[in-house]
Structure 1
Amino acid sequence: MENYKVGDIVKGCVTGIEKYGIFVNLDNYYTGLIHISEISEKFVSNINDYVTIGETIRVKIIDKNDDDYHLKLSIKNLDYRINKKIRTKIKETSKGFNTLKEYLPVWIEEKLHKIDNN
């Protein structure tokens, strides 16, 4: 069993996500909660934008209860990503590939014209 201290930065596995926070398992004994207020300095509208279940992340211990092996954790102001994958949202458009379909013949014609003139 680990001897965790307040202020330690340790690795944990995300085991659950709720509206109010993230559940993290640190080892066979200790589990913790990252309250939504400890995720970011910015407003957090969707916790799933930050982590996924099963992901291993770095967390900072901000409070400890040895009686029930429960920790209060934080990822605020912490480089918590271990694999450094960048999450970006792709905006869906109502046009889909229509724009590409419309302009592809025009682009081909422009390039062919440019080739013919050189």
Structure 2
Amino acid sequence: MSIEVGSKLQGKVTGITHFGAFVELSEGTTGLVHISEVADNYVKDIREHLQVGDQVEVKVINIEKDGKIGLSIKKAKDSYRPPRKRQERPNNRPNTENFEQKMSRFLKDSEDRLASLKRNTESKRGGRGARRG
């Protein structure tokens, strides 16, 4: 069976690193499952999900010109759906504001953030902008 992008294959985990797992495929070829392609949620330690010797189903997501094979365990699952884009509305506000209202809200938020930033940086410098003389 030839290895092509998009194909699902069975493989055996042969090595684990901090950035992913090496999986041996058919015909002695090896590919890498990056740590971000192991599970749908955040993976801090890959050893919590995989061990050397585990049989896994992987999907080929890319093949580099130099022969490196990129694999994914989470995309091999039938239930995988790509993440949806978030809506651009902050705080789920209805989009009924006119331009002037949006600008005044933006200016108020900006002034609040600048005041907070100024307050935090002044306290770290030793007070109210002490001058060296």
TM-score with structure 1 setting the length:
0.58
RMSD of equivalent CA atoms: 2.0
**Aligned partner letter, 2:24:** N
Radius of gyration: which is bigger? 2
Alpha-carbon distance, 1:67 to partner: 4.8
Decide which structure has greater strand share: 1
* Deviation digits for residues 15-41 of structure 1 (CA, Å, limit 9, x no counterpart): 001110010000234210001111123
The C-alpha deviation readout for 1:78-102, integer Å capped at 9, x for no partner, is 449xxxxxxxxxxxxxxxxxxxxxx
Pick the structure with more helix per residue: 2
Segments of structure 1 that go 5 or more residues without pairing to the other structure are 81-118
Residue 27 of structure 2 corresponds to 28
Matches of 2:71 and 2:28 in 1, distance apart? 15
Alignment of 1:88-99 (within 5 A): none
Runs of 4+ in 1 over 3 A off after TM superposition: 65-68, 77-80
Gaps of 5+ in 2: 79-133
- Percent of residue pairs bearing the same amino acid type: 37
- TM-score, normalising length from structure 2? 0.52
Where relative contact order (Cα < 8 A, 6+ residues apart) is larger, the structure is: 1
